[in-house]
Amino acid sequence: MHGVGQILQQNRAGVLDAWLAKLRDTAPGAQPGSLQLLKLELGTLVEKLTAYFLLDDGDGAGPAFKAVEEQAATISAACVRDGLTPMETATLILSLKTIAGEMLDRETSAKATELYRMRTALDAVVDRLALITFAAFVETREEIIKRQGRALLDLATPALPIWRNIILMPLVGIIDTQRARQVMEWLLEALSREEARIAILDVTGVPLIDSRVALHLTKTVEAARLLGSQVIVTGISPDAAQTLVKLDVDLSNMITRGTLRAGLAEAFRLLGPHAKGAHETML
């Protein structure tokens, strides 16, 4: 299948020009400045592709193809940076098929069967490149989503020492297993760090308490008890209360109060007459 490499080498400038024209059609909204960078990357890809076809005849293995693959991934990243959609990126890569294919038609004097084999080899490589750019695109986005997830988890559960001996932990959002584990960990850590006797767990911001969440709450209360601290759960909505009764979740070993205010009052009651005391004992 020799021939593809030579023809590409002789017509590199032409291929690149046609491709860049295609790029302008594909991404009319992109910044001219960033397109300049993308042009360089595309140029490098054509170069690497030429090297690959010159060296090795197209079964997609070996270090030469590896270099092509890496360049394709770089282009994908560049496309993400320049705000091209995956669709546009894939279209751009796939357009190489038409461009280089037409050039093969024009430049070769080979027989039809030979031409067919050259085009097939070219098509296979370009298809592979399109898949690689797409995979790289997805990977980039997965990474973004993962980062966002971690960021959300981090800001989710602060433990606030609101009074001497009292820690408040407002829970907001969905309590899944991972969050529940983290809530317990952080609450226990805060309890022992602050030497607090009471933890108020406010669930006003938790949309729904099912048996799974109830189980996590129970476990947290038990663990806190082992540290010698008591947990007051506040903010269970009237809707949630009725549902929990029907579910028949046993929360009897847990101190619960409707509102955070009532919970705080209960905390003071539990701490006894000296809790509220003079200002200097507040913190």
Partner 1 sequence: MSRSPGFPDPAVLGPAIPGPDVVGPDVVVLRVTSEIDAAEVRQEARRLALRHGFSTVRAHGLATAVSELAMNLVLHTTRGGLIRLTAQDTPDASVIELVAEDDGPGIPDLALAMEDGFSTRGGLGCGLPGTRRLVDSFTITTRVGEGTRIVCQVRRP
- 160 or 174: CB nearest partner 1: 174
Q: Which lies closer to partner 1 via its Cβ, residue 246 or residue 279?
A: 246
SS (H, E, C) the chain: CCCHHHHHHHCHHHHHHHHHHHHHHHCCCCCHHHHHHHHHHHHHHHHHHHHHHHHCCCCCCHHHHHHHHHHHHHHHHHHHHCCCCHHHHHHHHHHHHHHHHHHHHHHCCCCHHHHHHHHHHHHHHHHHHHHHHHHHHHHHHHHHHHHHHHHHHHCCCCCEEEECCEEEEEEECCCCHHHHHHHHHHHHHHHHHHCCCEEEEEEEECCCCCHHHHHHHHHHHHHHHHCCCEEEEECCCHHHHHHHHHHCCCCCCCEEECCHHHHHHHHHHHHCCCCCCCHHHCC
Minimum Å gap between C-beta 148 and partner 1 is: 11
Q: How far is the CB of 81 from partner 1 (least distance, A)?
A: 5
CB of 71 to partner 1, least distance (A): 20
Residue closer to partner 1 (CB basis): 124 or 144: 144
**Distance of alpha carbon 16 from alpha carbon 107, whole angstroms:** 16
Nearer to partner 1, 207 or 228 (CB): 207
Report d(CA 88, CA 23) in Å as an integer: 9
Q: How far is the CB of 161 from partner 1 (least distance, A)?
A: 30
Pick the closer one to partner 1 by CB: 99 or 214: 214
Closest separation in Å from C-beta 242 to partner 1? 5
What is the closest distance, in whole angstroms, from the C-beta atom of residue 142 to partner 1 in the complex? 10
Quote the least distance from Cβ 138 to partner 1, whole Å.
Answer: 11
Residue closer to partner 1 (CB basis): 9 or 218 = 218
Give contact residues for partner 1 (rule: CB under 8 A): 28-29, 80-83, 85-87, 140-141, 144, 174, 176-177, 207-212, 214-215, 218, 237-240, 242-243, 246-250
Judged by beta carbon, residue 13 or residue 247, the one nearer partner 1 is: 247
